[in-house]
């Protein structure tokens, strides 16, 4: 698909500049007798056009990045205009009163006072505005053509084609070849490499980099959070230069709960005070990792879960500043909400619960309905009824009709592998989604911050012991037990990673995280807000590496006792 986009919509560039007659606002920037005026350069016999003497060549001012469908990437005074970035790829300054920019509409933006320095950038907002940096046209999201001229000579032209919201065309490196990207850099250098995906929310997660997040809360909002941490306040958040205004923010946590003046965790809801999204997201969390000197337990636990096919949220890293105060290194975490459900299950029409505590046999009592309100726990009663019954072959087959048993067993195995003592095997922190399209319930892991024997919480790596009733029920049936043993064999193999095709890339991911966050971890320790030293960070990181290196052998040894 990515290749197809390039083939169909690669911007059209010009070679030698061609002359544009004198322009006034609204004039056609060039006269072209050919049929394809949106793409082709002016014909040689265009009226008023003369060859350009080489000694009078204009400076190399170029179109450098263009966004024709700004969803929520760049906020300008509360609006999200289309925009065009100009780049001066020459050794001389270019006075703006020499510059014109137009699109297919024929309306013209004329530069006024000021100049673009060598190697400098200028943003022009295509929103029909009247300010000096606002063009009198908007870009057609289905395809448009931009023409840039200096002193009446066309120096650059490109056809945008059609791209999704928040995807831009950019040159890599600056002034180089065009490519579509979601790593937008309005008014700044494009770097050397475009994004390797056009999925606009995907680069929020993973190890593409440490996000820079500014959360701007006014005095009243800060006072409110000091008084009542669980109530959303209105604020502005800027992620990697993209501003979302307004958003809702509140403090989150239980054992990790900290005040607004400490290193607290946040829930961010872009949909709270307006119908806004950020790269497809409505909600996300900024996790303080206050119990984790390594800063890697939660990321790696969810990584292993997702790699093992367990429905799980995505994560990345961020450096957070709140109203001018550095808070430090955070986990940037996806929320379990309808957006997550759509991405994993292909629908969000069912019920999503946070049980809080308890098993399927106590569904309804204290189970918090998070999506699909009011959730109907009666759809889970068949699961509870079967768990109260003997696990005969017939009942195991019946369970398959109401519970995604494969996924449940994989999650239990994954929880034990990462030492999650506070999840379904407690049972405590986990989620349950009932999918109306399949009629199946499935579980999702949650709160994986105290994994890998952290703070002395050692679940014991007992792969045949789980407080949740699903595992013991399955193990009482020979066929189901064999299925679970096969799952454990697969888990050991994939953590070990000798087969490149099935490897979870555990050690490689740890290496990548170590390089990515090492300096940030040192800076985080320097803030004093986490309470950890940099030496504690490196020691704990090394411990997790050793833990995961030893776990495949531990799994196999326990499996051997059951076979």
Q: What is the 3-state secondary structure (H, E, C) of 234-302?
A: EEEEEECCEEEEEEEEEEECCCCCCCCCCCCEEEEECCCCCCCCECCECEEEEECCCCCCCCCHHHHHH
pLDDT tens digit sequence for 55-108: 667 899 999 999 999 887 787 877 889 999 999 999 999 999 999 999 999 999
Cα radius of gyration (the chain): 28
What is the distance between the alpha carbons of residues 524 and 294, in angstroms, rounded to a whole number? 11
Count the Cβ atoms, other than its own, within 10 Å of residue 55: 5
What is the distance between the alpha carbons of residues 520 and 330, in angstroms, rounded to a whole number? 10
Give the three-state DSSP class for 191.
Answer: coil
Q: Is this prediction's pTM over 0.75?
A: yes
Give the pLDDT score at 53.
57
Is the separation of the CB atoms in 124 and 133 below 8 Å? yes
What is the distance between the alpha carbons of residues 10 and 6, in angstroms, rounded to a whole number? 5
Cα–Cα–Cα angle for 20, 21, 25, rounded to 5 degrees: 100
Give the pLDDT score at 21.
40
pLDDT tens digit sequence for 402-420: 999 999 999 999 999 999 9
Give the pLDDT score at 166.
86
Is the separation of the CB atoms in 149 and 100 below 8 Å? yes
End-to-end CA distance of the chain: 47
List the chain residues with pLDDT less than 70: 1-56, 201, 459-460
DSSP codes joined into one string, 374-395: SP-GGGGHHHHHHHTS---HHH
Tokens 């996300």 identify what position?
284
Burial class (CB in 10 A: 0-12, 13-18, 19+), 481: middle
Question: In degrees rounded to 5, what are phi and psi of residue 236?
Answer: -125, 135
What is the distance between the alpha carbons of residues 426 and 448, in angstroms, rounded to a whole number? 13
Q: Name the CA dihedral angle for 277, 279, 280, 286, rounded to a multiple of 10 degrees.
A: -80
Which helix (H) or strand (E) segment is 115 a member of?
A: strand 115-116
Is the separation of the CB atoms in 13 and 158 below 8 Å? yes
């Amino acid at each position: 698909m990515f290749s197809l986009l390039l083939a169909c919509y690669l911007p059209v560039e010009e070679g030698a500049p061609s002359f544009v007659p004198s322009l006034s606002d609204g004039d056609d920037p060039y006269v072209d007798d050919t049929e394809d005026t949106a793409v082709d350069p002016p014909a040689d016999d265009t009226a008023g056009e003369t060859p350009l003497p080489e000694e009078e060549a204009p400076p190399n001012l170029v179109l450098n990045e263009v966004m024709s469908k700004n969803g929520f990437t760049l906020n300008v005074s509360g609006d999200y205009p289309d925009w065009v970035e100009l780049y001066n790829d020459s050794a001389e300054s270019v006075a703006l009163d020499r510059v014109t920019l137009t699109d297919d509409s024929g309306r013209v933006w004329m530069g006024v006072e000021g100049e673009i320095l060598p190697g400098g950038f200028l943003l022009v907002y295509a929103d029909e505005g009247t300010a000096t940096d606002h063009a009198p046209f908007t870009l057609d999201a289905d395809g448009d053509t931009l023409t840039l001229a200096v002193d009446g000579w066309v120096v650059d032209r490109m056809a945008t084609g059609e791209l999704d919201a928040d995807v831009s065309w950019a040159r890599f490196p600056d002034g180089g070849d065009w490519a579509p990207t979601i790593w937008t850099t309005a008014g700044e250098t494009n770097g050397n490499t475009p994004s390797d995906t056009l999925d606009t929310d995907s680069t929020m997660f993973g190890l593409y980099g440490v996000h820079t997040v500014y959360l701007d809360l006014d005095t009243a909002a800060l006072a409110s959070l000091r008084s009542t941490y669980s109530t959303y306040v209105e604020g502005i958040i800027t992620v990697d230069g993209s501003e979302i205004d307004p958003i809702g923010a509140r403090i989150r946590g239980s054992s990790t709960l900290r005040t607004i003046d400490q290193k607290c965790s946040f829930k961010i809801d872009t949909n709270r005070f307006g119908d806004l999204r950020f790269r497809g997201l409505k909600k996300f969390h900024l996790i303080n990792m206050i119990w984790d000197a390594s800063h890697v337990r939660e990321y790696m636990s969810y990584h292993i879960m997702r790699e093992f096919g367990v429905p799980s949220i995505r994560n990345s890293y961020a450096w957070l500043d709140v109203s001018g105060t550095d808070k430090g290194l955070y986990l940037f975490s996806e929320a379990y909400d309808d957006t997550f459900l759509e991405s994993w299950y292909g629908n969000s029409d069912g019920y999503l619960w946070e049980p809080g505590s308890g098993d399927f046999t106590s569904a309804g009592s204290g189970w918090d309905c998070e999506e699909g309100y009011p959730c109907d726990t009666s759809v889970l009663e068949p699961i509870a009824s079967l768990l109260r019954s003997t696990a005969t072959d017939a009942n195991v087959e019946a369970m398959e009709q109401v519970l995604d048993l494969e996924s449940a067993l994989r999650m239990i195995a994954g929880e034990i592998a990462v030492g999650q003592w506070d999840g379904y095997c407690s049972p405590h922190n986990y989620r349950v989604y009932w999918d109306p399209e399949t009629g199946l319930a499935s579980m999702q892991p949650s709160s994986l911050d105290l994994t890998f024997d952290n703070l002395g919480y050692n679940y014991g790596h007992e792969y045949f012991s789980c407080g949740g009733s699903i595992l013991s029920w399955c193990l009482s049936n020979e066929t189901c037990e064999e299925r679970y043993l096969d799952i454990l064999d697969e888990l050991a193999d994939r953590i070990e990673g000798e087969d490149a095709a099935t490897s979870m890339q555990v050690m490689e991911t740890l290496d990548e995280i170590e390089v990515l966050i090492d300096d940030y971890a040192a800076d985080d320790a320097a803030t004093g807000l986490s309470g950890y030293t940099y030496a504690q960070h490196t020691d704990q990181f090394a411990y997790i590496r050793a833990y995961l290196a030893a776990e495949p052998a531990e799994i196999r040894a326990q499996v051997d006792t059951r076979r």
